[in-house]
Structure 1
Amino acid sequence: MDIKEIQSLIKFVAKSGASEVKLEMEDIKITIRTGSDAVAPETTIVQQIPMAQAPAAPVMQAPAAGEPVAPQVSEPAAASEDSKYITIKSPIIGTFYRKPSPDKPVFVEVGSTINPGDVLCVIEAMKLFNDIESEVAGKIVKVLVDDSSPVEFDQPLFLVDPS
């Protein structure tokens, strides 16, 4: 990743309204924090990871300020109920859109039957619109993200009933 890509990422994060974004790749680790105060400057930390180190296990991220916090698995009934569903997650950071354009209908609704390769939504990242396609067949049970809202990498987008 070169400096221009890092600068573009900083600008994107600042526009998205996220307070902190962490990006980890094989040889580089980037944390971008934006302050909510107008006088607080953006802070970028770039850390080189030694190549001899084994790839780290995925790290769970705390929700950004202002996001609702999902309850921990305190209700076994709800957990077992959701366990039969497949979660479709965001492959990238960006802005989630349910429609291809404002005047078009949504790609999928709750209850829609989907097949592998069907477009479920679009995620805009740095002025590029990326079609997010289904990798599974089933029925959409729940849409977990509001239209035109920012999403993070690996954030759940849809629940799908594979049966």
Structure 2
Amino acid sequence: MTSKKATPALKKRVTGKALVQKAKNTVQMPPEFTMKQVKEIVSLIKDAGTFTTFGYKTDEFEIEISVGAPTPTAVPAPYVAPQVATTTITAAPVNPALAPALSISASERLITSPMIGTFFRRPSPGSPPFVELGDVVTSKTDVCIVEVMKLLNTIPAECNGRITKILVEDGASISAGQALMVVDVS
């Protein structure tokens, strides 16, 4: 039985699949993505509506495309929360069924999650927590991490004061708007 060699024309027609040459029992990978293919993938992600990220990885090549999401970096960037007037902060979580009603005094503020994800009190498993009960924090003090799709987002206190309650257990799943901690600002 004879085997045919792949011609350049055949190689061009084979995209997205490996070309197997039986005679040598080797696999030749298709060429890397072209800019046109990347643009088509971005267009498909935008049109799908529910997907915001596409990833493809081999031993030699890796690509991740995010549409409408922050660009991931090698070192997680600190989360910069929108500035909110302290007089308009409410204690109600987005979904009341997820958390019991929480009453806070006029001198207390809630630290809430800006996104859905997993709550972590520590920067790494062996490290001490960012904050403990009674710790004094400033508006720029990181108090926890929310992990979303393997991206770690640090959450700042957003106000000056003392941590009086930690409402979520380490490693728990949380929703956007869920109360995480209470800060006494008096």
The reply to whether TM is greater than 0.5 is yes
Secondary structure at 1:2's aligned position in 2?
Answer: helix
Secondary structure at 1:158's aligned position in 2?
Answer: strand
Matched, 1:70 2:70: no
| Aligned match of 2:127 | 104
Which 4+ stretches in 1 moved above 6 angstroms? none
Q: What pairs up with 1:137-148 in 2 under 5 angstroms?
A: 137-148=160-171
Alpha-carbon distance in 2 for matches of 1:157, 1:5: 30
Alpha-carbon distance in 1 for matches of 2:101, 2:140: 32
Q: Is the 2:94–2:177 contact (alpha carbons within 8 Å) kept by the matching residues of 1? A: no
Q: Is the 2:117–2:175 contact (alpha carbons within 8 Å) kept by the matching residues of 1? A: yes
Alpha-carbon distance in 2 for matches of 1:87, 1:142: 9
Matched, 1:61 2:95: yes
Pairwise CA RMSD: 2.8
Residue ranges of structure 1 left out of the alignment (5+ in a row) = 10-58, 73-78
Q: Is the 1:119–1:134 contact (alpha carbons within 8 Å) kept by the matching residues of 2? A: yes
TM-superposed CA distance for 1:160, in Å, is: 0.3
| Aligned match of 1:161 | 184
Alpha-carbon distance in 2 for matches of 1:94, 1:6: 17
Max Rg structure: 2
Of 110, 115, 130, 1:92 maps to: 115
TM-superposed CA distance for 1:113, in Å, is: 0.2
Q: Percent identity?
A: 34
Q: Is the 1:138–1:161 contact (alpha carbons within 8 Å) kept by the matching residues of 2? A: yes
TM-superposed CA distance for 1:5, in Å, is: 7.1
Give 2:95's aligned amino acid: Q
Q: Is the 1:98–1:121 contact (alpha carbons within 8 Å) kept by the matching residues of 2? A: yes
Tell me how many residue pairs correspond in the alignment. Answer: 104
**Deviation sequence 1:3-44 (CA, Å, 0-9, x none):** 6672479xxxxxxxxxxxxxxxxxxxxxxxxxxxxxxxxxxx
Alpha-carbon distance in 2 for matches of 1:92, 1:4: 22
Secondary structure at 1:100's aligned position in 2?
Answer: coil
Secondary structure at 1:102's aligned position in 2?
Answer: coil
TM-superposed CA distance for 1:134, in Å, is: 1.6
User: Using a 3 Å threshold, how does the CA distance of structure 1 residues 71 and 130 change in structure 2: closer, same or farther?
Assistant: closer
Give 2:167's aligned amino acid: L
Residue ranges of structure 2 left out of the alignment (5+ in a row) = 1-44, 54-92
| Aligned match of 1:18 | none
| Aligned match of 2:154 | 131
User: Using a 3 Å threshold, how does the CA distance of structure 1 residues 100 and 142 change in structure 2: closer, same or farther?
Assistant: same
TM-superposed CA distance for 1:2, in Å, is: 3.0
User: Using a 3 Å threshold, how does the CA distance of structure 1 residues 60 and 95 change in structure 2: closer, same or farther?
Assistant: closer
Of 98, 114, 119, 2:137 maps to: 114
| Aligned match of 1:40 | none
TM-superposed CA distance for 1:135, in Å, is: 1.2
Larger fraction in strand: 1
